[in-house]
Structure 1
Amino acid sequence: MYRAPVDGIELFLLGRALMKLGEEALPEPPGGPGQYAGGTRSVVIVAGDIAAHPGTTVGETAQRTGLPQSQVSGAVARLREAGSVETSPDPADRRRTLVRQAPGISPRVAAVRAAGASKVEDALARALGEAEAQRLPELTRALEVLARHLVPRATA
């Protein structure tokens, strides 16, 4: 049976569904889920933007992500506290702060990676439900291909 290629709306909805699955697959942050205002989603979005744009500012990250500057500032503070990013004054304008990924892998990223693929597979299995459980290997392979081609390997 022919299926038309994915359109922009489907791609957008797929992205939202994948974000929710990703959040479900992340281990709890230290201190529990209510520890941080703004939630994990904004921190992951900001970390990804900083990985893609080293030496950026909070304002530039806010513009690119569409998040409020206060939320980006909070996410940068969390990432700095976790050892994922470093900040320094902008030599061209000392009023601005530049943000870049810290060298190496932070303890939080190490914990997320240690939780491993099993948390992702558990989230996928729940999303598929029992009736579609046999499709889990196919879906996992498809996600691996997408990640390999579309996601920079962030260390934040």
Structure 2
Amino acid sequence: MNGVELFLLGRTLMKIGEDALPEPPGGSRRYPGSARNVLIAAGDIAFHPGTTVGEIAARTGLPQSQISTAVARLKEAGAVTTALDPADRRRTLIRPAGRPSARVAEVRSTDVHDALVAALGGEPDPAHLAELTAALDVLARHLLSPDVPPQD
């Protein structure tokens, strides 16, 4: 595998992941922006609690307006809390919520089976699906460490 193939595989996996996410209340049209931006913002906030929209935008490379929308969605879902910065009351600090909300629990518990089946073009051979699921588990175990922030 070369860098281009790895990049394209990553994009394919992101699309499958997005397809696996349950719709937000009111449907996806209610919210501008993508689930991808929300997840990028959520990941950044998890590794940088007490951050600001501007700081998230600088670290992720996403426009501040998209981060603001993502933070609003996360706040509505109960995934983050916000408070005025006591040192500078013009700034709002964003932190992960103390406990996962029902929406956060729903998103985290969503299975990817149906999205994988759709990506494979219909109901695949069960052995093929099991092999693919096992390969994804191996990648996750080796590449997704809770102690290491995602790379920008």
> In which range does the TM-score fall when normalised by the shorter chain?
0.7 to 0.9
TM-score normalised by L of structure 2: 0.84
Does residue 85 (structure 1) correspond to residue 77 (structure 2)? The answer is no
Does residue 69 (structure 1) correspond to residue 64 (structure 2)? The answer is yes
Does residue 123 (structure 1) correspond to residue 118 (structure 2)? The answer is no
1:29-84 deviations in whole A, cap 9, x for unaligned?
10012010113221111111111221211111111222110110111111111110
- Candidates 128, 134, 140, aligned match of 1:135: 128
Aligned pair count reads: 145
Measure how far apart 1:131 and its partner are.
9.0
Mark the runs of 5 or more structure 1 residues left unpaired by the alignment: 1-5
Q: Indicate the residue corresponding to 2:143 in structure 1.
A: 150
Mark the runs of 5 or more structure 2 residues left unpaired by the alignment: 147-152
- C-alpha separation between the residues in 2 aligned to 1:127 and 1:91? 48
Distance 1:55-1:7 versus aligned 2 partners, 3 A rule: farther
- C-alpha separation between the residues in 2 aligned to 1:74 and 1:129? 33
| Contact 1:26 1:112 (C-alpha < 8 Å) held by counterparts | yes
The alignment partner of 1:142 has SS state of helix
- Candidates 47, 61, 72, aligned match of 1:52: 47
Task: Give percent identity, aligned residues only.
Answer: 66
- C-alpha separation between the residues in 2 aligned to 1:79 and 1:131? 34
1:110-153 deviations in whole A, cap 9, x for unaligned?
22244x32xx1121122223596332111111211222333356
Letter in 2 for 1:42: N
TM-score normalised by L of structure 1: 0.82
